Amino acid sequence: MAVAIANTLLEEYRLQWQELFNASQPDFSIRLAALDAFLEKGFPTTKQEDWRYTNLAPIVKEHYLPQAKLTNFSGSFGHFGIPANRLVFINGTYAPEFSEILDSSILTIEPFQLSENDFYLTDNFNLLNRAFANNGLLITIKKGQALQYPILLILQYSDDTGRALVNNSNRIVAEENSQAHIIEFHQYGESPVFNNTLTTVSLGQSANISYQKVQAQVQNQVQVHQLYAQLARQSVFTANAFDFGGRVVRNNVRIDLNGEHAEVHLNGLYAMGDKAHIDNHLNVNHFAPNCHSNQLYKGLINDNATGVFNGRIFVAKDAQKTNAFQSNKNILLSDAANITSKPQLEIFADDVKCSHGSTTGQMDKQALFYLQARGLDKQQATALLNVAFAGEIIDRVTIEPLREWLVQSLNNSMGNAN
C-alpha cells in the first residue's frame, strides 16, 4: 500500500512540473533531468543507511504537493531588531516589494539559472529541489569588500497554501577577500508545510563568511535543509544552525575544503519537545592539506522527542597536516526522550590530528538541587541550566539581538517561556 501511495504521488509531481515549466526556459533540460532522476529514486526510506533513523513514510502519505506560486501576504517579518540587507521569499518566491538592500554598492542580487557545472549532489531532495525550485537568487559579495550590514534571508511560509511542498534555493558567492554575516530565518504560519531548502555557498580565496540558519517551527511543519559549501585557499566559513521544534527536521550539511589552509567551524543547537524529530547529517571533506575543521553540536531533547546526529569527517590521501575535530553532546530531559549519535572518521592520510566524541546524559540533579535550594523553582532551575548548556553555541553568534532572540526561543521550545 505504501508503494502504491508513493507512486501515485510521484505521478502527481510529474504532472504538476509539466504545468510549471516549459522548453523555452534556459534551464529546462537540467530541471527535466533532475525530475526524471528524482522520480526514479522517489523519497528516501529507512532502508537507506543515511535515512535509517528518520522515517518519512507517514509524511509522504499525506500528499504534500509542490508550491511554486507567490501568494498574498499581509503579516510581519521577523528581523531581530537589526538593520540588514533584507531578502524576503514567500513560499519559495523572491518578493522584492518586501526586500531592501543597504549595501547595494558592494552586494549584487540577481536571479540565477541552473547550469551543468553546478556542484549539486544527486541525493533525493537535492534532485527534487533542482527540479522545482523557482525564483532563487545569486547573491555575490564583491572582491575585497566587507558588508556593513548582515544579509538577512527571510523564508516566509504563508497560511493559504494548503498542504504544500515549498522548494527554496539560493546561492551565495563570496569573492576573494570578502566578508559577510548571513542569517537565514525560516518563519512559519499555521498551515502544514514541507520545506525543502537548498543553500549553496562558494568562498573565494581568503573570504570569511559567518552563516546562521535559524528556525522556530510550530509542531506540524516538516523541513529538509541542505547546506553545501566549497572553500578555496585560506577561506574561513562558520555555520551555526539553530532548530527549535518541528514535526520532522533534517539538516544535510556538506563542506568541501578544496584549498590549502581553509577552515570551517560547524556549530549546532537543537531543542526539541513534544513528538518532534530532528536528524543532523554532516559531511566534512578534507581534500587539501593544512586545513582545519571543527564540529560542535548540542541537543536538548524533551517529552517524546527524538534526535539523530550523524557526523562524518573524510580526509583524502593528499590532505596531510589536517586538523579535524567533532563533538556531539546531548541532554535527555524526560524518560521518553531519545537520541542516536554516530560520529565517524574516514582517514586516508597519515599525518593528521583528528578526534571525535559523543556524550548523552540527563540533567545534573545536584545542580538542580543547588539552584532550588537558593530560591528557584524546578522550572526556573531547569531553564537556567538549559541556557547554560546551550550557551557555548549561542555565544558564538556575534550579533547581540539575535543571541537574545535565540535564548528566548530556547526557553519557549522547552516550555520555560517565563
Task: Write the pLDDT tens digit of every residue in 221-231.
Answer: 999 999 999 99
- The model's confidence at residue 370, banded by pLDDT at 50, 70 and 90, is confident
Q: How far apart are CA 271 and CA 225, in angstroms?
A: 17
pLDDT recorded at residue 417: 41
Question: Bridge-partner residues for 86, per DSSP?
Answer: 100, 152
| pLDDT value of position 385 | 92
Phi, psi at 360, each rounded to 5°: -140, 130
Per-residue pLDDT band for 73 (boundaries 50, 70, 90) equals low
Task: Show Cβ contacts of residue 375 under 8 Å, excluding neighbours closer than 6 positions.
Answer: none
pLDDT in tens, 83-120: 999 999 988 889 999 999 999 999 999 998 887 776 56
Residues 8-20 have pLDDT tens digits of 889 899 999 998 8
How many CB atoms neighbour CB 190 within 10 A?
10
Q: Does the pLDDT of residue 338 top 70, yes or no?
A: yes
Residues 239-270: tens digit of each pLDDT: 999 999 899 999 999 999 999 999 999 999 99
Q: What percent of the chain has pLDDT over 90?
A: 71
Give the pLDDT band of residue 6 (cuts 50, 70, 90).
low
Give the per-residue SS3 of the chain: CHHHHHHHHHHHHHHHHHHHCCCCCCCHHHHHHHHHHHHHHCCCCCCCHHHCCCCCHHHHCCCCEEECCCCCCCCCCCCCCCCCEEEEEECCEECHHHCECCCCCCEEEEECCCCCCCCCCCCHHHHHHHHHCCCCEEEEECCCCECCCCEEEEEECCCCCCCEEEEEEEEEEECCCCEEEEEEEEECCCCCEEEEEEEEEEECCCCEEEEEEEEECCCCCEEEEEEEEEECCCCEEEEEEEEECCCEEEEEEEEEECCCCCEEEEEEEEEECCCCEEEEEEEEEECCCCCEEEEEEEEEECCCCEEEEEEEEEECCCCCCEEEEEEEEEEECCCCCEEEEEEEEEECCCCEEEEEEEEEEECCHHHHHHHHHCCCCHHHHHHHHHHHHHHHHHCCCCCHHHHHHHHHHHHHHCCCCC
pLDDT at 15: 92
Tell me what pLDDT residue 113 has: 82
Please tell me the predicted confidence (pLDDT) of residue 150. 96
Name the residue with cell 550557551. Answer: 391
Q: How many CB atoms lie within 10 A of CB 325?
A: 16
Q: How far apart are CA 44 and CA 124, in angstroms?
A: 7
Q: What is the pLDDT of residue 1?
A: 46
Note the pLDDT tens digit of each residue in 108-154: 999 988 877 765 678 999 999 999 998 899 999 999 999 999 999 99
What's the rounded mean pLDDT across residues 210-219? 87
pLDDT at res. 72: 61
Which pLDDT does position 354 carry in this prediction? 95
Chain segment 17-67, per-residue pLDDT in tens: 998 899 988 889 999 999 999 999 999 999 999 999 999 999 999 988 886
pLDDT of residue 418: 39
Please, what is the average pLDDT of the chain?
91
Q: What is the pLDDT of residue 74?
A: 59
